[in-house]
Amino acid sequence: MNFTLIPLSQIALDCKIKSNFHLKDLEKKIKKSTKIVVCNSLTSTNIQVPMSAAIYLNIYDTTFLNNFLDCFNLGAYHTGLQIDNTEYMFGAHEEYETGVFTCKPKSNRFKLRRTVFMGNCTIDEEAISEVISELMIDYIGKSYDIFKRNCNHFTNELCLKLLNKPIP
C-alpha cells in the first residue's frame, strides 16, 4: 500500500486551520483513493486517514435455469464480495478448516450475472483484515449448509461488518 506523507503544518496551512486540527477538514482536501499519513514532526504522532476501498457484490449464476427464474425474483446464485482487487467467497469442503477463500475478481467458475456497487469502506486495511480473519474462523468448510449457511450468508455478514448494510 502506498502512503503519502504530509507534514501537519502544511495541512494546517492548506485547510486554513491555525489550531484545533479537524479530520473532516482534511478529508475534504484529499482524494478518497489516497491513503494519507499526517506527521507532526514536533510530536512524531501519526494520524492515519483511512483510504476508501470500493466494495462490489459479484453475483454468479449456478444454473442456466436462472435465465427463466430471474423474472420471478428466484434463482440459485453464488456471491462473492470484491474489495479492491480481491474477491472473498465461502464454499463447502469436508475439512475443519476455513471455507473462506480469495480469487481474482470475477474469475469464478460460475457465469457472472451482475456486479452491484455496495459502497466505499473507509476502515483501514488492517481492520478489514481483522474482520475477514474473524469470519475465516467462523466460516469453516464443514459448516456450509445450502440453506442456512452458504456463500450468500458469508457475503452478507462481511458486507454488514464493513459497510453496515446488507447485500440486496
**141 and 64 together in one domain:** yes
Burial class of 122 by CB neighbour count within 10 A (0 to 12, 13 to 18, 19+) = middle
In this predicted structure, the answer to whether residue 100 has a pLDDT above a threshold of 60 is: yes
Q: Which residue out of 39, 121, 151, 159 is catalytically annotated?
A: 151
**103 and 135 together in one domain:** yes
Q: Which residue out of 15, 39, 71, 78 is catalytically annotated?
A: 78
CATH of the domain at 76: 3.90.1720.30
Separation between Cα atoms, residue 29 and residue 31, nearest integer Å? 7
Structural domain boundaries enclosing 125: 53-163
Single pTM value for the model: 0.68
User: At 21, is the pLDDT very low, low, confident or very high (cuts 50, 70, 90)?
Assistant: very low
In this predicted structure, the answer to whether residue 161 has a pLDDT above a threshold of 50 is: yes
- Of 28, 49, 70, the residue at which a domain comes to its end is 49
**126 and 44 together in one domain:** no
What are the pLDDT digits (tens) for 47-75? Answer: 444 467 999 999 999 999 988 998 898 99
**97 and 144 together in one domain:** yes
Residue 51 has what pLDDT? 65
Residue 108 has what pLDDT? 83
Strand order in the sheet with 45-49: 4-7, 36-40, 45-49
Say whether 151 is catalytic: yes
Residue 114 lies in a domain: yes
**109 and 154 together in one domain:** yes
In this predicted structure, the answer to whether residue 28 has a pLDDT above a threshold of 90 is: no
Residue 63 lies in a domain: yes
Residue 168 lies in a domain: no
Residue 32 has what pLDDT? 42
Mean predicted confidence (pLDDT) in 125-135: 93
**104 and 32 together in one domain:** no
Q: Which residue has the cell 480473519?
A: 133
Domains identified in the chain, total number: 2
